A and B are shown apart, each in its own frame.
Chain A
Amino acid sequence: MIAGILLGIVTGLVANELCEFGPWCARRLVRWSAFRRYPDPGRAEMRAEELTALINDRPGNLFKLITAVCFAAEAIIVCGRRAIARKPDVGRGSNPAISVLSRRLARKAILVPADTPLAEAIRRADENRARAVVIVNQDDQAIGIVNETAVMATPEQRRPWIEAGALARALEPSLVLPADLAGTALLDAIRQAPASEYLLVEPSGQVCGVLAARDVDLAFARRVTRRRRARPSRD
């Protein structure tokens, strides 16, 4: 008897909750749809509020939910279309290098004359928090880049007795790249003159820094990984 009454109360409460759940769900759904449907945040906010009121106007709990589902479906379709419309751009720039800018990868460099002892050049670089050494002539013109691998291969005790210029690769015109080189152009430039380091110069002719081929490789690898993670189904 008591169980019957309790069951009746519980059933009533559950039914009541379910009735409330429909409109609540519909309101949430239309808000979600508005923010997906409209890229402009102002309009999205406006429509979200407006559609909530619309759901309120629409009679019938089930109809409220159906209307909300219609809005959600439309939002998904519009989002899909927008993604497809954006795809050609992605395709054209499918080379992940497109946003890799040489300037961003530039290592800060210090300029030293060729006869500077290597140990001194490294000390100065550390002092200036620089990661590259560029050799300059008497006129302060860059003439070479000290090779990082060669420095690493030189035992520390020998560094004071070796001139920085001895470990430098002479600067050929193909090793001097503009600092705003990016994407495929950057790749082409590197492919044309393979080297471990390049000198990056500003349009004004000022030295921007040194671009290490290894850094470029790493940047590209990172971008490719990020893309694969973002679009796992395409791979």
Chain B
Amino acid sequence: MRGPIRVTNPLLDVLEVLLQAFDSRAGDLHGWAIMKATKRSGPTVYGVLDRLEDIGWISGRWEDENPEPGKPRRRLYSITPTGVIGAREVLRERRPQALRSRLRAPGPALPRWQHVVPRDGVT
């Protein structure tokens, strides 16, 4: 892991999307899905992915094969445990509403939260 990361709005967007995918167990996301979700341009998203990969907050892997036959395989991204902790810290500081709304949201997000940020009495 290198020095402190420069926190920008596109970075927060990408982190939010990846964290959401992690919380909702939506699976790994490919570049186009991240672009669509963040509504950011390709170079911006990939610039952020480069930085996040460099500091070890996300990890990428190639899919075995594209679901559409004959199409090139895509690279899928997921947030790493370090990334989850880091992203929550950064989002708490910069976009508390985003985190709060997700905390209140129903679904499987809550148990995962408790898992990452252990509270007293929670096993």
Task: Answer yes or no: are A and B bound together in one complex.
Answer: yes
Rounded to whole angstroms, the CA-CA distance of A157 and B75 in the bound complex is 80
What residues of chain B lie closer than 8 Å to A49, measured between beta carbons? 72-73, 75
Contact among B41, B43, B75 with A50 in the assembled complex (CB-CB below 8 Å): B75
What residues of chain B lie closer than 8 Å to A70, measured between beta carbons? 41-43
What residues of chain A lie closer than 8 Å to B47, measured between beta carbons? 74
Contact A53 B66 (CB under 8 A): yes
Q: A50-B74, A53-B31, A71-B42 are in contact. List 18 more A-B contacts (CB 8 A).
A: A47-B46, A49-B73, A50-B31, A51-B31, A51-B42, A51-B46, A53-B71, A53-B72, A53-B73, A53-B74, A53-B75, A54-B32, A57-B30, A57-B32, A67-B42, A71-B43, A74-B43, A74-B47
Rounded to whole angstroms, the CA-CA distance of A50 and B74 in the bound complex is 6
What residues of chain A lie closer than 8 Å to B35, measured between beta carbons? 54
Q: Give per-residue flags for A50-89: 1 if the beta carbon is below 8 A from chain B beta carbons, else 0.
A: 1111101110000000010011011000000000000000
Rounded to whole angstroms, the CA-CA distance of A67 and B31 in the bound complex is 12
Q: Give per-residue flags for B29-49: 1 if the beta carbon is below 8 A from chain A beta carbons, else 0.
A: 011100100000111001100
Size bracket of the A interface = 10 to 19
What residues of chain A lie closer than 8 Å to B75, measured between beta carbons? 46, 49-50, 53
Rounded to whole angstroms, the CA-CA distance of A49 and B72 in the bound complex is 8
What residues of chain A lie closer than 8 Å to B32, measured between beta carbons? 54, 57-58
Task: Pick from B47, B66, B75 the residue with the most CB of A within 10 Å.
Answer: B75
Rounded to whole angstroms, the CA-CA distance of A84 and B54 in the bound complex is 23
14 cross-chain CB contacts under 8 A? A46-B75, A47-B46, A49-B75, A50-B74, A50-B75, A51-B31, A57-B31, A57-B32, A58-B32, A67-B42, A70-B41, A70-B42, A71-B46, A73-B43
Q: Give per-residue flags for A22-63: 1 if the beta carbon is below 8 A from chain B beta carbons, else 0.
A: 000000000000000000000000110111111011100000
Rounded to whole angstroms, the CA-CA distance of A137 and B89 in the bound complex is 78
Contact B41 A56 (CB under 8 A): no
Instruction: Give the distance to chain A from B51, nearest Cβ to Cβ, in Å.
Output: 13
Q: Give per-residue flags for B3-40: 1 if the beta carbon is below 8 A from chain A beta carbons, else 0.
A: 00000000000000000000000000011100100000
Rounded to whole angstroms, the CA-CA distance of A71 and B42 in the bound complex is 7
Rounded to whole angstroms, the CA-CA distance of A57 and B75 in the bound complex is 12
Rounded to whole angstroms, the CA-CA distance of A114 and B74 in the bound complex is 77
Contact B46 A52 (CB under 8 A): no
Task: Pick from B41, B42, B71 the residue with the most CB of A within 10 Å.
Answer: B42
Rounded to whole angstroms, the CA-CA distance of A22 and B24 in the bound complex is 37
What residues of chain B lie closer than 8 Å to A74, measured between beta carbons? 43, 47
Rounded to whole angstroms, the CA-CA distance of A57 and B42 in the bound complex is 12
